[in-house]
Amino acid sequence: MKADWGLRLNLSTLQLKRKFQYTNTVNYFLGNTDTIRFNEFQDNVYKLNQWHAEAQLEKNSKSIYLKSITKFEIPKWKRNGSTIQNGQGFGQSQPTNQLSISNETNLVKALGVNNILQYNGLVQYYKVDENLEIAPGIQQDIVNGGTDYLALNQQASTKNIFINQSATFKTKFNRFVLSAAAGAFYEHNRLNSQLYKTDSTNNIKSAGNQFKNDIGFDNLGLYGRISVLYLLKKGSINLEASPTLNNINYSEAEKSTAKKNTYFVLNPIIEFRKNLGKYSELNARFAQQTQFGQVNDIYSGTILVNYRQFNFNDTPLPKTDLTNFNLRYSYRKPLKMLFYNLMFGFDRTNQNFINSYTLDSGLTKSVAIDFRNTIDQYSLNGNISKYIFPLEINIAANGSLSMQTGNNFYNGEITPFKSYQLNTGLSLRKKLFSKVTLSLAGDLSRSLNKQESLSGPIENESANEKIKGEWLHNLSSALSYALTYNFVSYRQFSQEPIRNQFLDFNLKYAPTNWKSFFEFQCVNLINQRAYQQITSSANQLS
């Protein structure tokens, strides 16, 4: 090929087998009922057979730049194992076949000194087939009128086609940088699912039309993007809008229904940057964006999500309006190796739906319903990094504080909640010898969740501590190894802490002038038999 052309080909495969044992105790703290608990134990074997092929064509000359990437992926998952919930045992098998083909092309053409024409294109096809089998049959009251049966089988298939084409023109004159773009996208989704049961006489039949889905979803969009950047003496102001016209159609063959929706959204962005002195900068950014649901958000037939949860939707097309404001101050002094920044953020999410959960110790039913739901989040975070020359050590620290407010809907009651999260971290890095580096890091987090119920407030609080140490030794320019120790502690307040520790080893060989490398990993060398952790939300602890 010519000097300004390049072609790269890549073929890779991943063969994975993992045995996974999992024990979980889940607690739901609900105001209108006693605390709901359930226990589960899973013993599964996961197998992955994945192939990936990629071709990249690139041209880089004085007046034009072209890059086209084509990808082909075939990952195949298979899960086999057994599960016990509240003393009831059953087996599960879930093979999953996926197929993905895509091409992304970017072309940049210089038109004179201050003008640029750019083309961006993406074409993607994606398909997933799942087959969940459970034996003996479970959730008899929902599936089989309370009668025992032999097996449950759910078959689900999703197909997705996405096409996005756009062209952008950029120009600069005086203090202005102008950008204008126009484009179109088309998205097609298809969801088919059906639930089957095997009765006591080994007859296989449908569990009912209420468990069937045959949905087509299409979203055709026309959009533009206009950006005006004004360069200040020591900063800039950027005004941007991405007006988009969405034509969304979806139909359910089972119910012989079809719905059409047309939306126009502006998606504005306002950004301000200002240099404050020689080393610091102030940045403020405001943005609004609207997102729409897809086929997985509108199906009305009940789908078995897992062995204990059924989902369906009883709502118009989900619509989410996002509002974001960030204010950041940063300081960079490279000669002194001192860097720090401080940022405040506010995010508001307005949704036209809420997920309503009905649950007991053996079953969870979820339905998305029409409801005006607002979620607000406030956050404050910062970090600092300094290299101490006399000690030849780099020290970095970070911290964040956030609060989130919103609503939950469980067992017929809407409960407002507030969640508080505090995170701090400290890391040290020192080069002990010319080829040996030692790194130490520690993290501490606290979370407090409060919800208001008709029967009074409910709180749960938890803490996590993590310590990590790494010894990195470069034996040569091509060969290196790393020894890593991790310590993790989880604690729910008023309970004893749960501690875990791991020791891992990694050997890496990167031949000179190669763009690839070989890696050998050994994990859990000290044989930590079980890994335990705590997760919590506004009304859940597991």
d(CA 313, CA 123): 29
More confident residue, 22 or 69: 69
Inside any domain, residue 504: no
Predicted confidence (pLDDT) at residue 31 exceeds the cutoff of 70? no
Residue 531 has pLDDT above 60, yes or no: no
First to last CA, the chain: 58
Confidence at 443, pLDDT banded by 50, 70, 90: very high
Whether 382 is covered by a domain: the verdict is: no
User: DSSP letters along 292-352, please?
Assistant: E--GGGT--S-EEEETTEEEEEESSS-EEEEEEEEEEEEEEEGGGTEEEEEEEEEEEEEEE
Q: Is the pLDDT of residue 155 over 60?
A: yes
Contacting residues for 357 by C-beta, under 8 A, at least 6 apart = 364, 365, 366, 409, 410, 411
Q: What is the mean pLDDT of the chain?
A: 89
Beta-strand ranges (E) seen in 111-203 are: 115-135, 151-173, 176-198
CA angle 134, 136, 140 (to 5 degrees): 95
* pLDDT value at residue 530: 59
What is the CA angle 114-118-122, rounded to 5? 165
Structural domain includes residue 417? no
Instruction: Report how far residue 248's alpha carbon sits from residue 263's, in angstroms, rounded to the nearest whole number.
Output: 8
Give domain status of residue 408, yes or no: no
Question: Is 381 contained in some domain?
Answer: no
Q: Is the pLDDT of residue 169 over 80?
A: yes
Residue 300 reports pLDDT greater than 60? yes
- Give the span between the Cα atoms of 386 and 338, in whole angstroms: 5
Task: Supply the pLDDT for residue 527.
Answer: 63
Q: How many CA atoms lie within 13 A of 186 on its CB side?
A: 5
Least confident piece of the model among 231-235, 264-268, 373-377, 524-528? 524-528
pLDDT at 33 over 70: no
pTM metric for this prediction: 0.85
Is 469 inside a domain boundary? no
Q: What percentage of residues in the chain have a pLDDT greater than 90?
A: 53
- Please tell me what DSSP assigns to residue 35: P
pLDDT at res. 52: 94
Look at residue 465 in the predicted model and tell me its pLDDT.
93
pLDDT at 227: 95
Chain position carrying tokens 């895509």 = 102
With tokens 């929706």, the residue in question is: 261
> Does residue 156 form part of some domain?
yes
Apex 510 CA angle, 506 and 516, nearest 5:
105
Contact 68, 54 (CB under 8 A): no
Distances (CA, A) of 386 to 394, 427, 446: 6, 11, 26
- The DSSP symbol for 141 reads H
pLDDT score of 351: 92
Helix (H) or strand (E) holding 479: strand 479-492
Is 282:329 a contact under the CB 8 Å cutoff?
yes
Residue 334 CB neighbour total at 10 angstroms: 8
40 part of a folded domain? yes
Per-residue confidence (pLDDT) for residue 472, from 0 to 100: 92
Q: Which domain holds residue 39?
A: 5-312
| Contact by Cβ (8 Å): 257, 249 | no
Give the distance from CA 293 to its chain's centroid.
16
Q: Residue 140: which H helix or E strand, with range?
A: helix 140-143
Q: Using an 8 Å Cβ cutoff, are 110 and 118 in contact? A: no
Residue in the structure block whose two tokens are 């087996």: 91
Cis upstream peptide for 136 (omega within 30°): yes
Least confident of 162-171, 273-282, 305-314, 380-389: 305-314
Domain count, the chain: 1
